[in-house]
Structure 1
Amino acid sequence: MFGQGNPYDSQYFSQVSRGHPAKYRDFNTFPYTLYVSESAEPYPSVRDVLGIAELAAGAPELVTGETGLDRRVRWAHVVAGSEAPALLDGGELVLTTGAGWPAAGLSALMRTLVDTGPAAIVFELGTHFDETPPELAAACVTSGVPLIVLHRVVRFVQITQRVHQRVLAAQNEALEARAEVHAMLTELGLNRSPVDYVVDRIAATLGAPVVLEDAGHRVVAWSGGDARVLEHWAGSARRAPGRDPELPQGATRVPVEAQGTRWGLLTALAGPPHPAGRETVLELGAFALALARLADADGDTWLDLGSKRLFNAALSGRFTGERELASQLAAAGLPVAGRALMSATLTGVGDFGAHESLEAAILQTALRRAVAPEGSVVLAPAEQGVGAPRTLLALMSFPREDPRLGEILTAQQHPLATRLSRELAMMLPETTPTGWRAHLSIGVAAAGPRALIASLERIAQAGTSPAAPPALAPAAHPRVTVQLAEERPLAYLIRGLAGAPEVQEFAEGLLAPLFAHDRGSGPGHTGDLTLVLAAYLKHPTNRSLAAQRARLSRSVFYQRIALIEELTGADLADGETIAALTVALLARGEF
Structure 2
Amino acid sequence: MYVAESFESLPSVRDVLGLAELAAGAPELVTGETGLSRSVRWAHVVAGREAVALLDGGELVLTTGAGWPQESEDPEGLAALVETLVAASPAAIVFELGTRFDETPRALVTACAREGIPLIVLHREVRFVQITQRVHQRLLTAQNEALEARAEVHAMLTELGLNRSPVDYVVDRIAETLGAPVVLESAGHQVVAWSGTDTTVLDHWSGSERRHHGFTPELPEGAIRVPVEAQGTRWGTLTALPGPPHPAGRETVLELGAFALALARLADPDGEQWIDFGSKRLFDAVLEGRYSGERELSTQLAAGGLTVEDRVLLGATLSGTGDFGTHGSLETAILSTALRRTVAPEGQVILAPSPGDTRTLLVLLSFPENDPRLTFTHSPDTHPLALRLEQELGRMLPATTPASWRAHLSLGVTARRPLALIASLERIAAGAGALAPSGGGPSRSRVTVQLAEERPLAYLVRGLAGMPEVEEFAAALLDPLVSHDSTTGAGHTGDLLQVLAAYLAHPTNRSLAAKQARLSRSVFYQRIALIEELLGVDLTDGETIAALSVALLARGGM
TM-score, length basis structure 2: 0.93
Cα distance change, pair 135–507 in 1 and its aligned pair in 2 (3 A):
same
**Deviation of 1:583 (Å):** 1.3
Query: SS where residue 6 of structure 2 aligns?
Result: helix
**Deviation of 1:292 (Å):** 0.7
1:509 to 464, 468, 476: 476
**Deviation of 1:247 (Å):** 3.5
Counterpart CA distance in 2 for 1:132 and 1:211 is 50
- Per-residue CA distance 1:63-98 (angstroms, 9 max, x = gap): 222222221111212211111223222211111111
**Deviation of 1:398 (Å):** 0.9
Compute the RMSD of aligned alpha carbons: 2.3
**Deviation of 1:159 (Å):** 2.1
Aligned pairs for 1:76-475 (under 5 A) are 76-103=43-70, 104=74, 105-242=77-214, 244-385=216-357, 390-465=359-434, 468-474=436-442
Code of the aligned partner of 1:446 = A
CA contact (8 A) 1:346 1:392 kept: yes
Counterpart CA distance in 1 for 2:468 and 2:195 is 35
Moved more, 502-511 or 438-447: 502-511
Counterpart CA distance in 2 for 1:272 and 1:195 is 24
**Deviation of 1:136 (Å):** 1.4
Code of the aligned partner of 1:439 = H
Cα distance change, pair 169–530 in 1 and its aligned pair in 2 (3 A):
farther
Query: SS where residue 164 of structure 2 aligns?
Result: coil
- Per-residue CA distance 1:45-71 (angstroms, 9 max, x = gap): 222222223222323222222222221
Counterpart CA distance in 1 for 2:218 and 2:259 is 22
2:451 to 469, 472, 484: 484
Cα distance change, pair 551–382 in 1 and its aligned pair in 2 (3 A):
farther
Counterpart CA distance in 2 for 1:125 and 1:297 is 66
**Deviation of 1:522 (Å):** 4.7
CA contact (8 A) 1:63 1:148 kept: yes
**Deviation of 1:229 (Å):** 0.8
Name stretches of at least 5 consecutive residues in structure 2 with no aligned partner. none
Query: SS where residue 413 of structure 2 aligns?
Result: coil
- Give the corresponding residue for 1:55: 22
Counterpart CA distance in 2 for 1:301 and 1:570 is 54
- Give the corresponding residue for 1:8: none
Cα distance change, pair 490–98 in 1 and its aligned pair in 2 (3 A):
same
Counterpart CA distance in 2 for 1:553 and 1:202 is 67
Cα distance change, pair 41–576 in 1 and its aligned pair in 2 (3 A):
same
Counterpart CA distance in 1 for 2:276 and 2:237 is 17
Name stretches of at least 5 consecutive residues in structure 1 with no aligned partner. 1-20, 22-36
**Percent identity over paired residues:** 74
Counterpart CA distance in 2 for 1:551 and 1:102 is 111
CA contact (8 A) 1:256 1:264 kept: yes
Moved more, 523-532 or 78-87: 523-532
Counterpart CA distance in 1 for 2:140 and 2:466 is 63
Counterpart CA distance in 2 for 1:179 and 1:125 is 44
Code of the aligned partner of 2:299 = S
Counterpart CA distance in 2 for 1:56 and 1:257 is 49
Counterpart CA distance in 2 for 1:443 and 1:530 is 26
**Deviation of 1:296 (Å):** 0.8
- Per-residue CA distance 1:338-360 (angstroms, 9 max, x = gap): 11111111121222233322222
**Deviation of 1:238 (Å):** 4.1
- Per-residue CA distance 1:225-271 (angstroms, 9 max, x = gap): 41111111011234431464443432111111112211110011122
**Deviation of 1:433 (Å):** 2.4
CA contact (8 A) 1:209 1:225 kept: no
Structure 1 position 498 matched with structure 2 position 470 = no
- Per-residue CA distance 1:281-315 (angstroms, 9 max, x = gap): 11111111101111111111111111111111111
Query: SS where residue 326 of structure 2 aligns?
Result: coil
CA contact (8 A) 2:26 2:124 kept: yes
Query: SS where residue 443 of structure 1 aligns?
Result: strand
Moved more, 124-133 or 546-555: 546-555
CA contact (8 A) 2:5 2:39 kept: no
CA contact (8 A) 1:220 1:306 kept: yes
CA contact (8 A) 1:208 1:224 kept: no
Moved more, 113-122 or 241-250: 241-250
Counterpart CA distance in 1 for 2:492 and 2:219 is 66
Moved more, 290-299 or 540-549: 540-549
CA contact (8 A) 1:232 1:248 kept: no
Cα distance change, pair 108–47 in 1 and its aligned pair in 2 (3 A):
same
Moved more, 145-154 or 180-189: 180-189
Counterpart CA distance in 1 for 2:62 and 2:376 is 80
**Deviation of 1:436 (Å):** 1.9
**Deviation of 1:188 (Å):** 1.8
**Deviation of 1:179 (Å):** 2.8
Cα distance change, pair 349–130 in 1 and its aligned pair in 2 (3 A):
same
Structure 1 position 551 matched with structure 2 position 518 = yes
Aligned pairs for 1:531-542 (under 5 A) are 531-542=498-509
| Alignment: residue pair count | 551
Cα distance change, pair 268–470 in 1 and its aligned pair in 2 (3 A):
farther
- Per-residue CA distance 1:209-236 (angstroms, 9 max, x = gap): 1100111111111113411111110112
Code of the aligned partner of 2:416 = A
Code of the aligned partner of 1:425 = G
Counterpart CA distance in 2 for 1:567 and 1:153 is 109
Query: SS where residue 478 of structure 2 aligns?
Result: helix
Counterpart CA distance in 2 for 1:259 and 1:99 is 54
Query: SS where residue 243 of structure 2 aligns?
Result: coil
Cα distance change, pair 433–53 in 1 and its aligned pair in 2 (3 A):
same
- Per-residue CA distance 1:544-582 (angstroms, 9 max, x = gap): 322333334444444433333333223222211111121
Query: SS where residue 93 of structure 1 aligns?
Result: strand
Code of the aligned partner of 1:241 = H
Counterpart CA distance in 1 for 2:43 and 2:92 is 10
Query: SS where residue 194 of structure 2 aligns?
Result: strand
Code of the aligned partner of 2:272 = D
CA contact (8 A) 1:473 1:479 kept: no
- Per-residue CA distance 1:463-504 (angstroms, 9 max, x = gap): 245x834522237x7222211111111112222322322222
Counterpart CA distance in 1 for 2:164 and 2:500 is 50
**Deviation of 1:377 (Å):** 0.8
